[in-house]
Structure 1
């Protein structure tokens, strides 16, 4: 039994691992280091191009539930993330380089995985999983368009936030803390007065943007909205979003500032921080000029500027089944963000399900029924739901899962019960799923 997996991102790495753990030989094709996409900067597998956060780790949050389901079922990505985590309050954030290095080492050392460094321009014969990502190379994208049809691929724009060196942050004008006192004080909080914020907002909304072919504000995924696009929605929009000061009292004044920019640790050493919620496609000199107006960042050393790139995804409800298989040619499966799941964990979850189900099919076993009550199942059923008229990328959320059959007071309590229901099902499926 052999399966070819194209792409060693989060989805491809997870898929290859699940197949290999079940005795299937995997040929993993990755075009790095021969060629990189505009968003990649290293030759490691599972490189995190945007934030280093895998978002909330709380079970009252749907992505926290998805992570816990994957942990219990033996996910490679979650295992590596937990091993390289950096403190980030209630979120699971990782040392970006350490995480990718660990995934790469474990994939390369698995006896059932053969890695080949080459660009794929044709779809191989036999069982294939295409996990080439939203920045699939032009040659393969063209081949897929021929296979799937002109209207099969859609796209939106995605953006990444800048990184600054910790030592360049003026801690006389910032403090450590976490919003709402959740978790430990792992964020650097950079306050602004109303006057400072007003000047910053004026500069941000009039700054020069980098040219991105075909870019329009309406084509940006809401979860990765560039900070300047968000700012243009209104003077105080940022104060209700990433710059929200609620629950953050400045120890020097004992009061909440008008606005607060938060920095989150990006590596285990704590030497690099990213600007939370500051995805951007401003020109690099403009990023330095505008973001240095934040008082604590007046002399900031920018280790990486924010970038923006096009993300391509499939019209999955018309093309794929609940196991991410191509309905017209079931030997071909897709995994990752190109299927319309949005987010690191969601991408890995799609790779997980494809790996498990492809292995079972090759071994003559029936598919595992991950029901809509589980986060893994809900994602697969969402991307294959033919009743969706205008398909758009989706993060996992409790809204795509069935409600409880009884009333529960309080949103957090209700979400906790939804998670408990899901994890009870996962425990029942464990013996069937885990090798």
Structure 2
């Protein structure tokens, strides 16, 4: 069997897969279409571009994504190393400077002696050898057609991108620094408080605003973790106030009280010159975004360096098509990784790439592929997406609800800690066998 391995896609999953496979002796050809071809959602020429947000979410193991990050760190993840090297203040979350993050990963990939980076669009899936398809939610039309020939019809839906504003354009007399419940350094976020009247006026504005229409032939299904603000507003007048605009854990120093609602701004880069509107993914038209978001206190004269936009998300029906090794059931030499598998989130994509890379290298060597223990965060996620209801499969974030139950009675407040302890113990045993 050839020792060559082809990986299609230089996003988070593809880069992690390439790194893990190369570490294990495979000769990797990594294909990335940028800068020769791109999409409206991409802005950087480098690899591993973060599109929807610059946050890798919570660090605490009280959240399953925090546990997954710790698992990947212990297992030698390139992307977790990159995140540690390029992080920016974000309270209890792990957020990074996207340009530095991309540059870090790109430099590592370009300088690995066993990885050949080929720039250019892939329009055909290799007919021989081991292949990892990690083309992501923005898979090109030509490649999507080839994937469809392997998998049958894909389901398309839209994610939304949040706007970014310059720090110097903010009215800091209307904004206060604080992290929810004082986490992190305590002042990692800028907070724009709204009273009841301001909030109601803001919701009215969103509901009346013009939206970018979806094309007739595309089915629009929004994943809860990236729901456009206008979709949330349409669900009810208080939905935003219990979602991205929730005020809990924050006190307005001007009043000494909890605001009626809050818009949080998170640093987009290390210098703190740009901030993104947390949770404000949108498909409002550009003129409407400028008008509506300048209604937010402190953003009256906001300069938008990037406005929100929509992008297509392509994913396969993983439980129908994939084995827990991420191999295609109908053609086991082909593996999938990243959001195209139905995992949702940067860290989850990195985790899927980690496993796909390990298994691709094993297949190149002629070894049997492996599956992580179901009690680990990675194993629980893999188990879910490859065993979910085929008829109603939707993308999934890692969460403790996916984990197998603990033995015996465990107090509710101790449950997550115990699940994390069990996961890390089982992870170490698994890593030792790789």
Fold shared by both chains (TM-score > 0.5):
yes
* Structure 2 residue 302 is the aligned partner of structure 1 residue 277: no
Q: Structure 2: 5+ residue runs without aligned partners?
A: none
Aligned to 2:308: 306
Number of residues paired by the alignment? 430
Give distance in 2, aligned partners of 1:305 and 1:67. 29
Residue by residue, what CA displacement relative to the aligned partner does 1:360-404 show, whole Å, maximum 9, x if unpaired?
Answer: 232243333412101111122112116443110000011111011
Aligned to 1:43: 45
SS of residue matched to 1:331:
strand
- Say if 1:254 and 1:210 are closer, same or farther in 2 by CA, change over 3 A: same
Give distance in 2, aligned partners of 1:92 and 1:258. 27
Query: Could you tell me whether the CA contact under 8 Å between 2:151 and 2:316 is conserved in 1?
Result: no
Aligned counterparts, 1:239-388, within 5 A: 239-385=241-387, 387-388=389-390
Aligned to 1:187: 189
The 10-residue stretch of structure 1 (420-429 or 5-14) with the greater mean CA deviation from structure 2: 420-429
- Say if 1:32 and 1:238 are closer, same or farther in 2 by CA, change over 3 A: same
Q: TM-score, normalised by structure 2?
A: 0.96
CA drift of 1:62 comes to 0.4
Give distance in 1, aligned partners of 2:371 and 2:290. 50
Residue by residue, what CA displacement relative to the aligned partner does 1:2-37 show, whole Å, maximum 9, x if unpaired?
Answer: 100000000000000001111111001111111002
- Say if 1:293 and 1:215 are closer, same or farther in 2 by CA, change over 3 A: farther
Query: Could you tell me whether the CA contact under 8 Å between 1:217 and 1:229 is conserved in 2?
Result: no
The 10-residue stretch of structure 1 (365-374 or 242-251) with the greater mean CA deviation from structure 2: 365-374
Aligned counterparts, 1:17-416, within 5 A: 17-124=19-126, 125-149=128-152, 151=153, 153-184=154-185, 185-214=187-216, 219-385=221-387, 387-411=389-413, 413-416=414-417
Give distance in 1, aligned partners of 2:298 and 2:259. 13
Give distance in 1, aligned partners of 2:346 and 2:57. 9
CA drift of 1:292 comes to 0.2
- Say if 1:29 and 1:174 are closer, same or farther in 2 by CA, change over 3 A: same
Give distance in 2, aligned partners of 1:336 and 1:118. 20
Give distance in 1, aligned partners of 2:382 and 2:261. 39
SS of residue matched to 1:232:
helix
Residue by residue, what CA displacement relative to the aligned partner does 1:28-76 show, whole Å, maximum 9, x if unpaired?
Answer: 1111111002211111100011100001111010000110000000000
Give distance in 2, aligned partners of 1:295 and 1:326. 51
The 10-residue stretch of structure 1 (274-283 or 424-433) with the greater mean CA deviation from structure 2: 424-433
Give distance in 2, aligned partners of 1:307 and 1:387. 31
Aligned to 1:427: 428
- Which runs of at least 4 in structure 1 moved beyond 6 Å after TM superposition? 215-218
Q: TM-score, normalised by structure 1?
A: 0.96
Q: Structure 1: 5+ residue runs without aligned partners?
A: none
Give distance in 2, aligned partners of 1:306 and 1:183. 27
The two structures, once aligned, show a CA RMSD in angstroms of: 1.4
